[in-house]
Amino acid sequence: MSEIDLFAGICVSDLDAAKDWYARLLGTDEVFRPNDTEVVWELGEHRFLYVELKPEHAGHAMQTLFFDDFDAFVAGVSARGIEPATRETYENGVRKHTYRDPDGNEIGIGGAPAEAT
Which pLDDT value is given to residue 2? 78
Cα–Cα distance list, 89 to 15, 75, 96, 111 (Å): 32, 17, 6, 10
Residue range 19-53, pLDDT digits in tens:
999 999 999 999 999 999 999 999 999 999 999 99
Domain boundaries, the chain: 6-111
pLDDT at 117 over 60: no
Q: How does pLDDT run across 39-95, given as a tens digit for each residue?
A: 999 999 999 999 999 999 999 999 999 999 999 999 999 999 999 999 999 999 999
Beta strands in the chain (DSSP E): 6-12, 32-35, 38-44, 47-53, 62-67, 86-89, 95-100, 106-111
Please give the CATH topology (third level) of the domain spanning 6-111. Answer: 2,3-Dihydroxybiphenyl 1,2-Dioxygenase; domain 1 (3.10.180)
Q: What is the pTM of this model?
A: 0.92
Whether the per-residue pLDDT at 1 is higher than 80: the answer is no
User: What is the predicted pLDDT for the residue at 115?
Assistant: 79
Kindly state the average pLDDT of the residues 6-19: 97
Question: Which pLDDT band, with edges at 50, 70 and 90, does 114 fall under?
Answer: confident
Q: In the prediction, which pLDDT does 102 show? A: 97
Given a cut of 80, is residue 116 above it in pLDDT? no
